[in-house]
Structure 1
């Protein structure tokens, strides 16, 4: 029997195959990688952020999504499952299988994915012309790193810690750090 890591697919074959799977798999240049379950703190923080976004974006053209919907990065021949993402693009509202034009992506760090979230995944995400902000959430440090695209197409880090509000300029909203880390016990 083949494991997901041994199978090579085209993007379309991956989508067809993934629809039949009971577990989620990310896709990068023909290879698929099984996703593991998240720890409780990871899920709580992801839910806190998604809930805050849902409340603040109500009655706007922007829509938040949680980790069960795929993100396609066509320029990297990849599909990912970000913890949270927001799209304000009309084409994404019509696509039931994946998002292609997010303005915001959020990844909550875990020990097994931190290096990839900061490195290869962020490199792929930067190829999305629509992406304006990328949040990396470090639960242990109670920190949110907001990488914001500049007008020169560079990425500027805004570091949020402690009681400061996390500003999301691409969406014109703020989320208090206390709300992001609500129900998380201090380390």
Structure 2
């Protein structure tokens, strides 16, 4: 989702929570500044819902919980709060506060052209400080393409790219693996009923 700075003043987390309760829009808090969150496209919303339904069904009966973009994520050991499109936590400590979670193992962001560089760069830099985070999932809304930043057992971050029908080095990688929650599904299921607009220069 697109965000734009709205206030020149600085907020403490307590001031931010109280102020945002009076607003009609959601706002992120980054380094004391608040940023208004704008709406996305139909594809953006539908893809996020597909992820939510598939993950919710998979997690049923477990201690893990999945949240949509109404729940904030506190960047661990900072006063920063973001609204990812989707987050999953399996940590009991995240039951302590109704407005946000702090220990997600999985975060999903559906990309837009205006936020992709931020989501891949500075936002991921903030998220990966959290030792609980295992999968950071970036989902295209323009084509069937998913990139997962996955933290392996050695603590190194790997980039796993998934495409429909893609076969790098003879190995199909069109089955998306969310190792943080033990879910593996064909990429097509995450894009069910999604219709992509043809590129502007298409004949």
TM above 0.5: yes
**What do residues 72-130 of structure 1 show as CA deviations (whole Å, max 9, x unaligned)?**
00334310000001000111123211010000000000122111101110000001111
Aligned residues: 185
**What do residues 127-166 of structure 1 show as CA deviations (whole Å, max 9, x unaligned)?**
1111000000012231110111122322101111105221
The one of 103, 116, 126 aligned to 1:101? 103
| Structural RMSD (CA) | 1.4
Q: Distance in 2 between matches of 1:34 and 1:173?
A: 33
Q: CA deviation at 1:42?
A: 0.1
Q: Distance in 2 between matches of 1:18 and 1:130?
A: 27
Structure 2 counterpart of 1:149: 151
The one of 66, 73, 76 aligned to 2:75? 73
Q: Secondary structure at the match of 2:67?
A: strand
The one of 14, 17, 33 aligned to 1:15? 17
Is it true that 1:124 corresponds to 2:134 in the alignment?
Answer: no
TM-score (norm 2): 0.87
TM-score (norm 1): 0.94
Q: CA deviation at 1:5?
A: 3.0
Task: Give the 4+ runs in structure 1 shifted more than 6 A.
Answer: none
Q: Secondary structure at the match of 1:6?
A: coil
Q: Distance in 2 between matches of 1:82 and 1:14?
A: 18
The one of 180, 185, 188 aligned to 1:170? 180
Is it true that 1:158 corresponds to 2:160 in the alignment?
Answer: yes
Q: How does 1:30-109 map to 2 (within 5 A)?
A: 30-109=32-111
Structure 1 counterpart of 2:189: 179
CA contact (8 A) 1:166 1:176 kept: yes
Q: CA deviation at 1:56?
A: 0.5
Find the structure with the greater CA-based Rg: 2
Q: Distance in 2 between matches of 1:123 and 1:50?
A: 24
Q: CA deviation at 1:180?
A: 0.8
Q: Distance in 1 between matches of 2:86 and 2:179?
A: 17
